Amino acid sequence: MSTEPRRRRWAWIIAVAAVLTLASGATLVLAFPSIAATTCPRCYGLVPVEDGLYAERDVSDADRQRLVALHREANQRVTDFYEGRKSKPIVLACLTPECYRRIGGGGERGVAVGNQAVMLSPRGIDPAIAAHELSHVELHARLGSAGEVPQWFDEGLAVLVSDDPRFLLPRNVADRCRVAAQGPLPQTLDEWLRAASADEQMYAKAACQVHRWAEAHGGRRAVLALVDRLNHGARFAAFPVSYS
C-alpha cells in the first residue's frame, strides 16, 4: 500500500475514534451527570474551596468558611473512627437546588458516588451528613472487591461514624439506641431504599444494631477488625445478629 492511501486510512480511523469518544462522553454527561461532575467539577460550575472540596463560584465568604469547617469536621470524624484513611474522595457541595440538580442529585441530602466522591445538597450541608457519606466511601475502599456487607450494616455504620444525633443518643449514654430493630433489616440497596422510604426510623434501627454489636465486642476496634476480616475473605454470615 502506498504512503498516501495509508495516511488517508489512518486519518479516517482517527476521525471515527474521535467521534466515538465525543459521543460516549456526551452520553456519559447526559445519562450520568453525577459521574461526569465528579470527574470534572469545573465543567459544572464548581470551583475548589480547599483541597478536595468544591462549591459554586459565587458563594459568600461566610458560606465558604462554613463549608471549609464542615469539610474538615466530617473528614476528622471518619479519620478518627477508622484510625486513618484509605480513601480520599472529593466533596461537591451545592448551596442551591439548581446546582444539585445540575450535577445529577435528587431528593436526598447527600450521596456517595462510587469510591471517588461525595455530593451534598443544600439540605446536606452538615458535618454529620457529610461524614455519613464519607464513611460509605471509606468502608468500600477498605473492603475493595473482596469484602461485602449487607446494606443495613453499611448504613448503620455510617450513622455510627458520623455520630448523627437524629439516629443515636449522646455518647454519654450507655445504650445509644433510639429505636431497636425487631426483625431482619434490609440486605440489598433496593430493599434498603424501599424500607427507608416507608420507615423514617430505619437508619436509627440499623445504627442501633451496629452500635450494640460493637459495644458487646470491644467497641470501634471490633468494627475495624470485622472489616479487616471481611476484606480478607470472611463471610458476613459470621456476624452475630440478635433482635430485641
Q: Map residue 56 onto helix, strand or coil.
A: strand
pLDDT tens readout for residues 176-235: 999 999 889 999 999 999 999 999 899 999 999 999 999 998 899 999 999 888 888 888
Q: Give a yes or no: residue 163 inside a domain.
A: yes
Range of the domain at 82: 28-144
Q: State whether 129 and 175 are in the same domain.
A: no
Pair (177, 103) in one structural domain: no
Regarding whether 101 and 46 lie in a shared domain, the answer is yes
For residue 93, the one-letter residue type is A
Residue 189 in grid coordinates: 440497596
Query: Does 22 fall in a domain?
Result: no
> Final residue of a domain: which of 144, 171, 205?
144
Burial annotation 135-148 (CB, 10 A radius, 16+ → b, else e): bbbbbbbbbeeebe
Residue 218 CB coordination number (10 Å): 11
Last residue of a domain, one of 94, 119, 144: 144
Tell me the helices (H) and strands (E) count for the chain, helix number first: 9, 5
Is this structure's pTM higher than 0.85?
no
pLDDT of 141: 92
- Which of 123, 200, 212 has its CA nearest to residue 166? 200
Answer yes or no: do 189 and 165 share one domain.
Answer: yes
Q: Examine the domain organization and report whether 140 and 59 are in the same domain.
A: yes
| Phi–psi pair at 166, nearest 5 degrees | -70, -25
In a domain, 10, yes or no: no
C-alpha span between 44 and 211 (Å, rounded): 39
Q: Same domain, yes or no, for 234 and 161?
A: yes
The pLDDT tens digits for 143-174 are 977 678 999 999 999 999 999 999 999 999 88
Count of domains for the chain: 2
Q: How far apart are the C-alpha atoms of 198 and 89, rounded to whole Å?
A: 30
* Residue 230 is assigned to a structural domain of this protein: yes
Same domain, 90 and 115: yes
**Residue 2 falls within a domain, yes or no?**
no
Mark whether 73 and 122 lie in a shared domain.
Answer: yes
